């Protein structure tokens, strides 16, 4: 199969060309204009590596915490519409048995989804601060503990790829060290900690930050806080780029400080993503969605209704980034975080043919997952 005459988004440039796909891999990139027969014509459109969402709870009415194959599979199919070819469903701080069921159902769905690739699990909680819980239910928060993690994950611990921890909590540093041995990425987030707490977590092995600015101590010139720790280290930082969770000026400043290679755009979406305003749920709590903003009754932000193609559009439109740079934040950067950058995240020969075709406004036209045309 050949995708011809598109504007191919490579790592550091955009070139006119065609891509040949065979057995789920990109086998040849032809730069310039070619007249292939029986090819998919991408004339006037961008050909991009597929988007990778490492932090998504739910979409279009389906939530990974439902604890069923159908919910995860329907999420995978919905994500295709927005250019996402791989994802990590994110659990919530809820009753332990409910988290266990979610971990089990997500694990059993790996390799079986009909849409986007299911890469594993993002465990957002229960090892968070009760003072920075956000929309998560504080009564289910647990002290960081390897035994508790093993109880939750059981035989599926290898499928947990990303785990959020508040580093100031008792037992957190010990657990971060254990996670490093298990090859699970520790993400600092939902934390009331200070700069020193962040540095302790970082030195213990934390590599990532859960939705920077949200649910953490901010930056002050005499107390840099968790945000200051992120700025002063080489961890990657998630960014919810919807113009609601983080002001665009703050997002631009973060990219200037961290560099484009250390930013990962996420949706952090709840089940209203892709649907209309109304009353929904997240983590067992009612969420009121109005004008696309998802909030608890008390006004606390409760996830988002963002999709990654919209986040990418916002990066280009509001942050004034070149498209090829903005695409890194939804493709090669998350691939590097998950140690998949030897096969995913870029348009390159011998890489997986996870490909998205879109127009100038990032409206999705076609999506290919491992060479299979899904839409």
Q: How far apart are CA 119 and CA 110, in angstroms?
A: 7
Sequence ranges of the binding site? 124, 135, 190, 211, 214-215, 222, 245, 301-303
Task: Mark whether 268 is an active-site residue.
Answer: yes
Cα 214 from chain centroid?
Answer: 15
Helical ranges in the chain per DSSP H: 69-80, 96-109, 146-153, 172-181, 195-204, 225-231, 248-258, 308-318, 323-328, 332-337
Q: Is 6 left (phi over 0), alpha (psi -120 to 50) or beta?
A: beta
Q: Are strands 58-59 and 62-63 parallel, antiparallel or unpaired?
A: antiparallel
What are residue 279's DSSP bridge partners? Answer: 288
Sequence ranges of the binding site for Zn(2+)? 124, 190, 211
Nearest Cα to Cα of residue 246 among 160, 314, 340, 147: 314
Sequence ranges of the binding site for substrate? 135, 214-215, 222, 245, 301-303
- Exactly one of 53, 63, 197, 268 is catalytic; name it: 268
SS3 354: coil
Residues 6+ apart with CB under 8 A from 231: 219, 224, 254, 257, 258
Active site residues: 268
């Amino acid at each position: 199969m050949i995708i011809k005459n598109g504007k191919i988004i490579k790592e550091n440039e955009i070139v006119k060309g065609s891509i040949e796909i065979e057995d789920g891999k990109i086998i040849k990139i032809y730069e310039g204009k070619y007249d292939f027969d029986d090819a998919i014509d991408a004339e006037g459109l961008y050909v991009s590596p597929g988007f990778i969402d490492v932090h998504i709870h739910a979409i279009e009415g389906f939530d990974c915490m439902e604890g069923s194959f159908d919910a995860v599979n329907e999420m995978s199919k919905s994500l295709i519409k927005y250019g996402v070819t791989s994802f990590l469903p994110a659990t919530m701080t809820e009753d332990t048995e409910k988290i266990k069921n979610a971990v089990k159902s997500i694990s059993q769905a790996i390799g079986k989804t009909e849409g986007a690739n299911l890469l594993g699990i993002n465990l957002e909680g229960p090892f968070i601060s009760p003072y920075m819980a956000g929309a998560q239910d504080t009564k289910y928060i647990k002290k960081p503990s390897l035994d508790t993690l093993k109880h939750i994950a059981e035989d599926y611990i290898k499928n947990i790829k990303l785990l959020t921890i508040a580093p100031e909590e008792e037992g957190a540093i010990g657990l971060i060290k254990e996670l490093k041995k298990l090859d699970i990425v520790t993400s600092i987030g939902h934390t009331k900690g200070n700069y020193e707490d962040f540095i302790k977590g970082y030195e213990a092995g934390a590599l990532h930050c859960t939705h920077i600015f949200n649910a953490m101590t901010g930056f002050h010139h005499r107390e840099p806080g968790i945000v200051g720790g992120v700025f002063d280290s080489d961890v990657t930082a998630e960014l919810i780029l919807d113009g609601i969770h983080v002001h665009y000026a703050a997002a631009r400043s973060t990219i200037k400080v961290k560099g484009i290679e250390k930013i990962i755009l996420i949706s952090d979406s709840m089940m209203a993503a892709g649907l209309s305003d109304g009353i929904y749920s997240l983590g067992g709590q009612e969420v009121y969605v109005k004008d696309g903003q998802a909030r608890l009754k008390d006004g606390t932000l409760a996830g988002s209704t963002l999709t990654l193609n919209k986040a990418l559009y916002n990066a280009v439109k509001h942050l004034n980034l070149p498209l090829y740079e903005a695409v890194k934040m939804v493709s090669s950067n998350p691939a590097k975080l998950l140690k998949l950058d030897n096969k995913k995240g870029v348009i390159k020969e011998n890489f997986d043919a996870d490909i998205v075709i879109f127009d100038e406004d990032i409206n999705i036209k076609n999506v290919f997952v491992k060479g299979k045309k899904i839409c």
